[in-house]
Structure 1
Amino acid sequence: MFKNVVELAKQICQLKLRQGDKAADCTMGNGNDTAFLCGLVGEEGKVYAFDIQEEAIINTREKLGQLKLQDRAVLIRDGHETIDSYIKEPIRLFMFNLGYLPKGDHEITTKKDTTLQAVQKCLDLLEPDGLILLVIYPGHERGKEEKEALAAFAATLNQKTFNVAHIRLTNQVNDPPELLCIEKVLPR
């Protein structure tokens, strides 16, 4: 079924996204999630992708070019906490793969304060039946802080408006990644 929560998040994306949807990769990194989302939204869809590092923009642009997906993505060099400055339309799915850039500077990581700001803004931009997926890495200090802050925030969300699931592989060692899912409930 799945070997880790990253794979589970991708399976959820495949179930949730349709051709023509709008999505956002809030932590672009090396472009893997951006490319994956671009494939799911199809030619008529759009993926907004955010990162603060120029290296992430370069790597993602190259990956999308190789896959001929560049027309489906808007690459933004800015922090995800500024998401509402760039996105003005409802979004079906937001994806966060928190932590640091793989093979990059491990001192540059996502931070609980800016991630919380971003998630709060994503809730406002999320279309009904839309989803926010957060892959959290509690194996380093900032990751632990993010996990605690996000879990506490998500627990306060109104259950009539949002469904929240926190998924952990409880038999894994060394603080494996966790998945926090926030779904906007369809209005009745």
Structure 2
Amino acid sequence: MLQTALHFSHTLLKEVIKEGDSVVDATMGNGNDTAFLAELVGTKGDVYAFDVQEQALTATAKKLTDANLTKQVQLFHQGHETIETVLAKETLITAAIFNLGYLPKSDKTIITTPDTTKQALDALLPRLIPKGRIVLVVYYGHDGGEAELELVQEYCQNLPQEHYSVLTYQFINQRNNPPILFCIEKK
């Protein structure tokens, strides 16, 4: 059976992340990806997780505490556009994940935007190790979603093939704008 974009994102990350790595959850949301990353990197690794909504931080902190995964995670109550200022210049990452759109079961007017997503990608690419991956799951069926999808697609298409491979993964026969996954891998 074909995997959903969300499940496939985890498959792509599991292939490259190992214990002790440093990774980024650019949009922590309800904490599912943050906890997943924390399990992969173990207590010797580092997860840097970002979100602008207090609700996201609260849900993520609870999930991490319940699973005994707090030691390796730093939660930042700020947008992913601040990655450049939060991560030390020498911090190298193995992977990053974005779920772009809005926080499920919350205020649908608070969304990720093309500008902040571009800033985050610009900050992450130079820190990505060879064979490292940045996965973006783009939910675009809301106001502003199409613009962000366009930005991500254009950004990925313009990455030089000598340095990056980019994959897209989507279901093309489903209703209600199923998410589209992009995976950037550094060569």
> TM-score under structure 1 normalisation?
0.95
More helix by share: 1
Aligned mates of 2:112, 2:101 — CA distance in 1: 5
Which residue is 1:134 aligned to?
A: 136
Name whichever of 2-11 and 105-114 sits farther off. Answer: 2-11
AA aligned opposite 1:59: A
**Identity of matched residues, %:** 43
Which residue is 2:23 aligned to?
A: 23
AA aligned opposite 1:179: L
Of 113, 123, 126, which residue of structure 1 is paired with 2:125?
123
Aligned mates of 1:21, 1:81 — CA distance in 2: 22
Which residue is 2:72 aligned to?
A: 72
Which residue is 1:34 aligned to?
A: 34
AA aligned opposite 1:42: G
Aligned mates of 2:2, 2:71 — CA distance in 1: 30
AA aligned opposite 1:76: F
Aligned-pair distance for 1:2?
3.8
Which residue is 1:63 aligned to?
A: 63
Aligned mates of 1:135, 1:82 — CA distance in 2: 20
The 5 A counterparts of 1:73-92 are 73-88=73-88, 89-92=91-94
Aligned mates of 2:122, 2:2 — CA distance in 1: 29
Aligned-pair distance for 1:174?
1.6
Aligned-pair distance for 1:141?
2.6
Which residue is 1:4 aligned to?
A: 4
Name whichever of 141-150 and 103-112 sits farther off. Answer: 141-150
Aligned-pair distance for 1:9?
0.3
Aligned mates of 2:100, 2:152 — CA distance in 1: 11
SS of equivalent to 1:101: coil
> TM-score under structure 2 normalisation?
0.96
Q: How many residues align?
A: 185
AA aligned opposite 1:128: P
Name whichever of 69-78 and 163-172 sits farther off. Answer: 163-172
Any stretches of 5+ residues in structure 2 without a counterpart? none
Aligned mates of 1:177, 1:96 — CA distance in 2: 12
SS of equivalent to 2:125: helix
Which residue is 1:44 aligned to?
A: 44
RMSD of aligned Cα (Å): 1.0
SS of equivalent to 1:102: coil
